[in-house]
């Protein structure tokens, strides 16, 4: 008895109607290495206008005609969904044109990345469409294959996210406590974990997450952005968690409710710190006049501001008509922040800046004002 398989439902498409029923490529007892099958199908009349409009307009939500293949597995139940799988050395011609297939994942074995093939561009809207399929059969690949054609509508990413479940904050807090409990069992107190730092950046896009997600079977606290995850798996389907590399198919993904709430708070920090009791806070950042910045950017801004002040002072002195002396400015860049505090800023007034010392030297029998911006040992303390 030949059962009709159920092709795995993909989150990117909504099935409108089968255009060609699922058909088995049966291998005859006596056959050559290359097998050929010819088929003919028509686009259903009720979808022709919709398909024609979709082909003429540039939009993400399009109607597509998809060609799909899968293996026939004898030990599989008829109710089980089957992943796409291409026959070896597959070639497809439609209405006299060669259909471009997904690239090879293994050139030597000539195996392709299994995914639906979009044949919309080769379709005739009102007339019959001819398809010729050929593949290579050998003793190493003695499988029989199923073939079908579907008319689908591409879904927008926002629509896909709305279909996902949102996990409660209780589940997230349990993961946090388990992370501490798995490490605090050591007898050595020096190895016990006192805090857990989790990034708010997606490990795939390295951008701040909008839809934090993970699989229901993942045991780590770190999330990834589900939009980036879907975009990668649409192009190269692997469905593996980018954090732990375990399988994470779409039907097992959930939106983390706790991280979603955290991301809604207006804070520039890209990290949060969890305590053993489950409480959390944003990682501290350095504050400046323009807002919250990290330590490196704050030091760079201070150096830039100091350089501008010195240049303005030089210009004001050289442009003064009563100024006959030349000025020489000596300065040091702000030192790196130490444990005692951040580098101190030079306080500026309307017409001048406070200097640590003023000296006069003679250069080629000419008196020169020397401005020393370096800090004395007493100032450093």
Q: Please give the model's pTM, rounded to 2 decimal places.
A: 0.64
Residue 49: which residues within 8 A CB-CB, separation 6 or more? none
Q: What are phi and psi of 17, to 5 degrees?
A: -170, 150
Percent of the chain exceeding pLDDT 70 equals 64
CA distance 288 to 358: 30
Length of the chain: 381
CA–CA gap between residue 356 and residue 372 (Å, rounded): 7
What is 6-155's CATH superfamily? PINIT domain (2.60.120.780)
Q: Which fold has domain 159-284?
A: Herpes Virus-1 (3.30.40)
Give the domain ranges of the chain.
6-155, 159-284, 291-380
Distance between CA 334 and CA 297 in Å, rounded?
A: 13
Per-residue pLDDT tens digits of the chain, which is 381 residues long = 556 778 888 889 999 999 998 888 877 666 567 788 898 999 999 999 888 888 877 666 689 999 999 888 776 655 677 888 888 888 999 999 999 988 877 666 666 778 899 999 999 999 999 999 988 776 556 678 888 999 999 988 888 999 899 988 888 888 888 888 754 444 444 556 678 899 999 999 999 999 999 999 999 999 999 999 999 998 888 899 999 999 999 999 999 999 999 999 888 889 999 888 778 888 887 544 344 444 444 455 555 555 555 556 555 555 544 444 444 444 444 444 444 444 444 444 334 334 334 444 444 444 445 445 445 545 544
The pLDDT value recorded for residue 332 is 45
Which residues partner with 201 through β-bridges?
Answer: 208
Beta carbons of 218 and 241 less than 8 angstroms apart: yes
pLDDT of residue 354: 40
Q: Look at residue 364 in the predicted model and tell me its pLDDT.
A: 44
Residues 105-123 have pLDDT tens digits of 766 666 677 889 999 999 9
- By DSSP bridging, strand 367-372 and strand 357-362 are antiparallel
Whether the Cβ atoms of residue 252 and residue 217 lie closer than 8 Å to each other? yes
């Amino acid at each position: 008895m030949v059962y009709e398989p159920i092709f795995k439902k993909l989150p990117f498409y909504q099935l409108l109607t089968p255009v060609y029923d699922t058909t088995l490529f049966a291998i005859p007892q006596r056959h050559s290495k290359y097998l050929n099958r010819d088929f003919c199908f028509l686009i259903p009349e009720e979808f022709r206008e919709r398909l024609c409009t979709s082909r003429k307009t540039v939009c993400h939500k399009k109607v597509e005609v998809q060609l799909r293949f899968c293996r026939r597995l004898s030990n599989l139940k008829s109710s089980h969904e089957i992943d796409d799988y291409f026959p070896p050395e597959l070639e497809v011609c439609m209405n006299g044109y060669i259909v471009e297939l997904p690239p090879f994942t293994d050139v030597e074995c000539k195996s392709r990345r299994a995914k639906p093939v979009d044949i919309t561009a080769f379709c005739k809207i009102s007339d019959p469409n001819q398809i010729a399929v050929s593949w290579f059969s050998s003793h190493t690949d003695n499988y029989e294959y199923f073939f079908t054609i579907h008319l689908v509508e591409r879904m927008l990413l926002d629509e896909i996210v709305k279909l996902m479940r949102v996990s409660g904050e209780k589940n997230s807090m349990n993961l946090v406590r388990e992370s501490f409990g798995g490490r605090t069992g050591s007898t050595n107190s020096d190895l016990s974990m006192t805090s857990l730092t989790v990034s708010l950046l997606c490990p795939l896009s390295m951008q701040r997450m909008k839809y934090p997600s993970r699989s229901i079977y993942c045991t780590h606290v770190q999330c990834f952005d589900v939009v980036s995850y879907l975009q990668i798996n649409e192009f190269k389907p692997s469905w593996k968690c980018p954090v732990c590399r375990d399988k994470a198919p779409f039907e097992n993904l959930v939106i983390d409710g706790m991280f979603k709430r955290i991301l809604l708070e207006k804070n520039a920090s890209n990290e949060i710190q969890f305590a053993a009791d489950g409480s959390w806070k944003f990682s501290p950042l350095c504050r400046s006049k323009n807002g919250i910045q990290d330590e490196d950017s704050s030091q760079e801004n201070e150096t830039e501001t100091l350089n501008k002040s010195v240049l303005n002072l030089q210009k004001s002195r050289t442009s003064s008509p009563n100024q006959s002396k030349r000025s020489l400015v000596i300065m040091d860049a702000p030192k790196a922040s130490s444990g005692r505090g951040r580098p101190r800023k030079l306080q500026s007034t309307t017409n001048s800046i406070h200097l640590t010392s003023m000296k006069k030297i003679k250069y080629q029998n000419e008196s020169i004002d020397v401005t020393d911006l370096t800090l004395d040992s007493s100032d450093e303390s």
